[in-house]
Amino acid sequence: MAGRDPKIEARPNSHFGSDWCVHVAWASGKTDVLTGFENQYRALTWIKNESANWIVDQIMRRPA
């Protein structure tokens, strides 16, 4: 399903000072922003270790 997978990246959270967020851009154009990461390392660790399960959960929650 390459090309349809969401693009995921860690970004500084400009709305809340010095913390970080994870930005998810779906192929549909929809975006999700997950906030609350205290630093870039924590955001990147979440992407590496937990984002795949989160993506599956989001896909399973979509209405049929």
Which residues are CB-neighbours of 39 under 8 A, at least 6 positions away? 19, 20
Q: What is the pLDDT of residue 16?
A: 63
User: Residues 27-36: what's their mean pLDDT?
Assistant: 94
What's this model's pTM, rounded to 2 decimal places?
Answer: 0.84
Cα–Cα distance, 38 to 56 (Å, whole number): 24
Q: What is the pLDDT of residue 26?
A: 96
Q: Is the pLDDT of residue 1 over 50?
A: no
DSSP string, the chain: -TTTSPEEEEEE-TTSTT-EEEEEE-TTS-EEEEEEESSHHHHHHHHHHHHHHHHHHHHHHS--
pLDDT in tens, 6-15: 999 999 988 7
